[in-house]
A and B are shown apart, each in its own frame.
Chain A
Amino acid sequence: MSDLLRRLGGVALLVVALALPLVLDDFWLQTGLFVMAAAIGAVGLTLLVGVAGQLSLGHAAFAAIGAYVYAWSTGETTTSVTGGGLPPVLGLALAALVAAGVGAAFSPVAGRLRGIYLGLATLGLVFVVRHLLLNLTDWTGGFTGRSVESFALGGFSFSNRDPDYLAVGGVEFEGLHRLWYLFLLLAVVACWLAGNLRASRTGRAWANVRDSETAAAAMGIGVARAKAAAFVVSSAYAGTAGAMLALAYGRVAPDVFSLTASVDFLVMIVLGGLGSVAGAVVGALFVTALPLVLAEYSSALPFLAAPGSGGLDPSTASRIVYGLAIIAVLVLLRGGLAGAGRRLRHRLGGGGPSGDAGTTDPDTPGPGPTGRTAPASGTTDPSTPDGSHPAAVTHPRSKETTR
């Protein structure tokens, strides 16, 4: 029953998303593009951090690699920068592949470290990649960056030209409208793949590695390999997201992919609820759209001052709001927004067990031999209808047992 409702809800959302370009103006379309690009990056990161349990602060580095690979491979050689002149589709695929390749190259580190140790090592990646972006000026254009060729598929360009005029239902479809559908397709495919991956053998192996490496190894999971694989997949997602950001901006520059961007990706998945694909999308919507919307409508909000006047300007306000949002979600909501939503559904639907099954993982094979996962089994109900949510939240340890 609840499964049917979820599907109907998904279809309804998709129909709305398909129809939105007919009514939205350019600002909202642009915002939507950024949100969808960020959502793909966030979904990739939630697979790594939420499902596989590896903290990464280097997501922006992989997004940067994707963005620049796309920009370089599809760009033409000019007086200032070189370019590959490849077809955009190939460029997009290369962006994901090269980012995944770099992720694989980093896997000797990723396979050996865990948790916050890995987070710190990946912190280094952001700075190293930024340094390369600034210095390999022939390829990247240095500090000012380089412009990005618009996407095209078989003579149909996702820009304002080629065809010059295209209208659907009386609304002229310009570059933003066309990109909207491309991004929507990519986002839906990415979420669908991520959901399936998480529920698959591989995803459950990752969750097992997250919960206890010793137990996972005892069950025959190659721990280093599983961790490296999670890193590679997440990097590919980041690369795709980077290429999409490049398309949405029409330009790439090193400052887009700073440490702040990495932190933003983390914030998205934490707000949404670690390990939840839908949560990652909601988190991306919140984090990406909030500063843009506050800036756009700052004149209508009385408590905001104009930028530079010393008062509370929109970008400061949005940063404080989302800093507070992170704190509030982590302190008040177990499992982020996704966890809260799941509990709400249980309460409303009444079909589920009253226990807080959302934070346990019904699909994970029983208690590990170390006994570390044992307390979780007490709150797990095998009849949980929520079986589509393996690996929902970071740890199976329940609040009651740790206090």
Chain B
Amino acid sequence: MSYFLTQVLNGLSYGLVLSLIAAGFAIVFTSTGVLNFAHGSIVLLGAYLVAVLHPTIGFWPAMLVALFGAALVGVLINALLVRNLADPEPGAAAILMLGVDIVLLTELTRRIGNQVLPVGAPWGASVVRFGDIALPTGRVVAAGVTVVAFAALWYLFSRTDLGVGMRAAAADGPTASLMGIRLSRTAATGWALAGVLAAVAGVFLTSFPSPGVAPTIALSAFAAIPAWVLGGFDSVPGAVVGGLLIGLTSALVTGYEGDLEHVLGAGFGEVAPYVVMIVVLLVRPSGLMGSKEAVRV
């Protein structure tokens, strides 16, 4: 029983980290209509900045630099590339982001090489015990930070002019623009927010129990895509639900791999999120909490 509970808690805390990344996908998508395939690289970039800077300037200042760096890269990608697309349409933007991802990821991979860089998180490799359930402290901190981050997002989107403007821009860009909302500003805010969330998630993905920053982190950020799709493409609460579901699924499938292996094959934990995603898309093409498209033919 405690094994089961440990898996569930692990899955939920991992799921919360995934939901940070998924929320980044959703925010960029709603604010600029771009499927940001470079998001994984930005997650890696955030973690890499912390890993490189923390020995000299300490963990928290490094974290601050990483947040700014990731946000800045996002804003620059939007301002310099996405807004200057020759054929501005979602497919071209998605492929552009694949190109950005290739460049960023290749360069970061070259810099990291074969090493695994520790991020030097202050909670180290300690473990929190609840009765006979043990959970890495990093995961507990991650869960707390994620909850705070989503509370802040909720406040931003429902209580501030900027957030309401972003929602208006997402709902109907031209009309919002006529009402005096600057679309360039809401778009930049969206990309910056996504970058900040990515950097936070990157640090949690690379601190204990993970050994450190390695290029594969960008690929595990890909696992947030099913979470995003599951929740609905344009919904931040959906990203949380999707993240939790995907986190639980992969933790349970991986945790009980021994029992499942002869049915589903080895390594099904990596595939399970995508299988769940395809099934959900079949039943509900706009995800669990996404807004339905108006046109059906």
Contact = CB atoms under 8 A, between A and B. Distances in A.
Interface of A: 49, 53, 55, 108-109, 112-113, 115-117, 119-121, 123-125, 127-128, 130-132, 134-136, 213-214, 216-217, 223, 259, 263, 266-267, 270, 274, 310, 312, 316, 319-320, 322-327, 330-335, 359, 393-395, 397, 399, 402
A124 B226 CA distance: 8
A230 B94 CA distance: 20
A223 B297 contact: yes
Contact of A330 (B86, B267, B278): B86
Given A217-B297, A266-B98, A331 B85 contact: yes
Interface stretch (B1-9, B102-110, B125-133, B238-246): B102-110
Interface of B: 35, 81, 84-92, 94-96, 98-103, 106-107, 109-110, 113, 222, 225-226, 229, 233, 265-268, 270-271, 274-275, 277-278, 281-282, 285, 295, 297
A128 B275 contact: yes
B86 A124 contact: no
Main secondary structure of the interface of A (DSSP, over half): helix
B115 to A, nearest CB: 11
Contact of A334 (B35, B86, B297): B86
13 contacts: A109-B278, A123-B225, A124-B226, A124-B277, A127-B270, A131-B265, A213-B297, A217-B297, A223-B297, A326-B102, A359-B87, A393-B87, A399-B87
Nearest to B276: A124
Given A116-B91, A267-B99, A324-B99, A319 B106 contact: yes
A310 B114 CA distance: 10
How would you classify the secondary structure of chain B's contact residues: helix, strand, loop or mixed?
A: helix
B102 A322 contact: yes
Nearest to A209: B297
Contact of B281 (A109, A216, A259): A109
Contact of A124 (B81, B87, B103, B278): B278
A141 to B, nearest CB: 15
Contact of B87 (A108, A132, A335): A335
A55 B94 contact: yes
Contacts of B267: 131, 134-135
Contacts of B281: 109, 112-113, 117, 120-121
A267 B109 CA distance: 20
Contacts of A121: 229, 277-278, 281
Nearest to B101: A323
Given A116-B35, A131-B271, A135-B265, A330 B285 contact: no
A124 B91 contact: no
A222 to B, nearest CB: 10
Contacts of A223: 297
Contacts of B278: 109, 121, 124-125, 128
Contact of B96 (A109, A119, A327): A327
A59 B285 CA distance: 21
B95 A326 contact: yes
Nearest to A112: B285
Contacts of A325: 99
Query: 7 shortest A-B CB distances, which residue pairs?
Result: A326-B99, A135-B265, A323-B102, A124-B274, A323-B103, A217-B297, A131-B271
Q: Which of B84, B113, B266, B285 has the most CB of A within 10 A?
A: B285
A274 B277 CA distance: 28
Contacts of A267: 95, 98-99
Nearest to A327: B99
A123 B89 CA distance: 20
Contacts of A125: 278
A49 B87 contact: no
Contacts of B226: 124
Nearest to B297: A217
A108 B279 CA distance: 11
Contacts of A320: 102-103, 106-107
A207 B232 CA distance: 28
A359 B113 CA distance: 43
Given A120-B229, A330-B92, A395 B102 contact: no
Contacts of B266: 134-135
B282 A395 contact: no
A115 B103 contact: no
A131 B94 contact: no
A69 B233 CA distance: 35
B106 A263 contact: no
Contacts of A124: 226, 274-275, 277-278
Nearest to A317: B106
Contact of B98 (A109, A263, A402): A263
Given A116-B35, A117-B281, A395 B81 contact: no
Given A116-B94, A117-B229, 16 more contacts: A108-B282, A116-B35, A117-B233, A120-B35, A120-B229, A121-B229, A121-B278, A128-B274, A136-B265, A214-B297, A217-B297, A263-B98, A312-B110, A325-B99, A394-B91, A399-B88
Contacts of A117: 229, 233, 281, 285
A55 B97 CA distance: 14
Nearest to A116: B35
Nearest to A216: B297
A395 B87 contact: yes
A272 to B, nearest CB: 12
Contacts of B268: 131
Given A117-B233, A121-B281, A395-B87, A323 B274 contact: no
A136 B102 CA distance: 31
Nearest to B280: A121
Contact of B84 (A119, A131, A331): A331
Contacts of A136: 265
Contacts of A116: 35, 90-91, 94
Given A121-B278, A323-B99, A330-B96, A399 B86 contact: yes
Which of A112, A319, A334 is packed against the most chain B CB atoms within 10 Å?
A: A319
Which of B102, B109, B277 counts the most chain A CB atoms within 10 A? B102
Contact of A120 (B92, B95, B99, B225): B225
Nearest to A266: B95
A270 B93 CA distance: 11
Nearest to A122: B278
A115 B87 CA distance: 15
A184 to B, nearest CB: 29
A2 B277 CA distance: 49
